[in-house]
Structure 1
């Protein structure tokens, strides 16, 4: 026991984290080096590891066909499907969304090509400047989390806070720009449907700048030699309005539905859409953001996902955000208080990614 206590007391976690970060090799570099055990600071606490298997008999999240979205006769049915999925699941897949499969595949391949480069090449982009420009790093919350997760990410801000195009790595530059355009068209179509589902005009969310500020992220989840000891990304809800995601065929994404974890099986050519905390608040709880996670990858092939997070740029001249006034009434009073963008940023950047912490802080206690 004394030996164990000495070993524990002599372990300097922050020193190891800093050395890993300053090496700029990422988890891809660790994986490629052929390690057979993961560094200690990647080992997740028991409460994260105890239920890593899917616990559900459900086979997938809802799948919604957008082929007839322009049909005045058939659109109401699609609105109902999107509304129901956003209320009960917070996650759904869309098919026949208009983005060619070739665009999805080219973007996935380009992000894979970026992460497959020698770490000396990628190291030029490695930095920790969240919220602006282009950043390649392992774990954006590396210094804030209890334990690191097994993924690397390339991030580029788009929209009104757009990074300089020439700052995006050349190996994936063209594809990132094309994906941003295509994904945003899908996001704006889905936001129209979500808006109509709340009884608002189709263009309301666009008017409120819900797609103007967005972040592109290309995740790589390389092979992990001890997937039972860590995760690809810890359980969390997304902080923004909506998220649009495409992924290769390597599994790992799971969604919390009730008390169960459901494996998300990608549909060929489909895109995954999920509700963020911001949308839950502005819809006054009508739509639900939900926990999701990515398991550590036990496949030799890397899991690649390309994501765009949509966040509003500006709203209401007084600088406050909160439930949309149009959705409130004496029968349906606000269940969340108004908040400032500073509160939003302070909440996100002061801690590890987590589940609905902003929503919990904003709930009005009756």
Structure 2
């Protein structure tokens, strides 16, 4: 089934509806802590998402370098997500990526439909809207554009947007820069586990096999933001995820049994530790549960780049150095593909169970 224009969230949002269709209304238990996201972002009390300054990550001064790396390691172990600043990617390049992505979404829907994906036939790259992937039939308040961004020899430029003309150059350069940043981060995380510097990078596929998947998430204004979610609560399956956004708040993290709203930090990139690194580190680094909120006033756009290991080539399991008698392996061996299947199956099962106990 190819998704039709009428099922795009953007079409729905701009049609003048005052209430959202029932398939977008989340179950009651998911609606905790969904207040006005702009007010949530202003709150100063409670835990705050750490900001890690990478300026000294490769400093000549050992003490200065170690202090920076220790802060990164601590954030990865305690939160599994952080704002990173002084990451080495220019503000100009990040702005070009934002401008190009927004210009694509600013086009009429008819233009974007030329890039429509078709998930049912396995054509997942392109312009799309989330299909219900669980038994509850729930939908998320977002449209998106998805494609492989790196390595260059594996990408298919024919499905990248031709308009605006800077989309391909800006996104290509950004993906290349992020790939270098991923190597730096992975080496610090490796050393943090007492491993060789290049060990984690090898374990997730190395230069040739680690894939960078770009997903631009477009969250239209929502007439009933207190009932909807842009993205439902999940952990990322990736090794690392890097996120840019258009300075509209929406990210919430489930930390110490409470939802914490991430503030917008200028020129930062939000970085998540994904399931892949959590598994390899035997749970020492955290893959945090998070979700995306929507609002009435402003469109939110985020540019997520997922650094993923190859689907079948690698068996993901806790590295032997992270396991001991007192710390047995927390995860069974699985390929990346099997890990994704396991998560989808579990989510479907949970939704079915919820359905069976709900009154009709």
TM category, shorter: 0.7 to 0.9
TM-score (norm 1): 0.83
Write the deviation string for residues 174-219 of structure 1: whole angstroms up to 9, x where unpaired.
2221221122222221111111111112222222226712211011
1:67 aligned partner:
55
Cα distance change of structure 1 residues 338 and 252 upon mapping to structure 2, 3 Å threshold? same
Corresponding position of 1:7: none
Superposition pairs of residues 238-257 of structure 1, within 5 angstroms: 238-257=236-255
Counterpart selection for 1:112 from 88, 93, 102 = 102
In the alignment, what sits opposite 2:301? 304
What is the CA-CA distance between 1:345 and the residue it aligns to? 3.5
Structure 1 residue 146: deviation in Å?
Answer: 3.5
Deviation at 1:287, TM superposition (A): 0.7
Given that 1:282 and 1:322 are in contact with CA atoms closer than 8 Å, whether structure 2 keeps it comes out as yes
Distance 1:346 1:104, change over 3 A: same
Pick which of 222-231 and 35-44 moved more. Answer: 35-44
Task: Confirm or deny that 1:23 pairs with 2:2.
Answer: no
Give the 3-state SS of the residue equivalent to 1:269 in structure 2: coil
CA RMSD of aligned residues (A): 2.7
**Aligned match of 1:183:** 178
Compared with structure 1, are the counterparts of its residues 163 and 246 closer, same or farther at alpha carbon in structure 2 (3 Å cutoff)?
A: same
In structure 1, stretches of 5+ residues that fail to align are 1-17, 356-366
Say whether the 8 Å CA contact 2:148–2:156 is kept in structure 1.
no
Q: Which consecutive residues of structure 2, in runs of 5 or more, have no partner in the other structure?
A: 351-360
Describe the shift of the 1:84–1:204 C-alpha distance in structure 2 as closer, same or farther (beyond 3 A): same
Task: Provide, for residues 298-352 of structure 1, a one-character-per-residue CA deviation record: whole Å limited to 9, x for no partner.
Answer: 22x311110111111279x7x5320012222334332222123442242255576
Counterpart check, 1:41 vs 2:38: no
1:129 match = 119
Task: Confirm or deny: 8 A CA contact 1:247 1:304 kept in the other structure.
Answer: yes
Closer/same/farther in 2, CA of residues 44 and 133 from structure 1, 3 Å limit: closer
Q: How many residues align?
A: 334
Residue 314 to residue 352, structure 1, CA distance change in 2 (3 Å): closer
> Given the superposition, is the C-alpha separation of residues 134 and 233 from structure 1 closer, same or farther in structure 2, using an over 3 Å criterion?
same
TM-score, normalised to structure 2's length? Answer: 0.84
- CA 1:294 to 1:275, structure 2 compared with 1: closer, same or farther past 3 Å? same
1:157 aligns with 2:145: no
Distance in 2 between residues matched to 1:353 and 1:110, nearest whole Å: 36
Residues 283-305 of structure 1, C-alpha deviations (whole Å, 9 max, x = no match): 01101111111112222x31111
Query: 1:1-366 residue pairs with structure 2 within 5 A?
Result: 21-23=3-5, 26-53=8-35, 57-58=45-46, 60-72=48-60, 73=62, 74-129=64-119, 134-139=125-130, 141=132, 146-159=137-150, 162-171=154-163, 172-208=167-203, 209=205, 212-299=210-297, 301-313=298-310, 320-350=315-345
Match of 1:149, SS?
coil
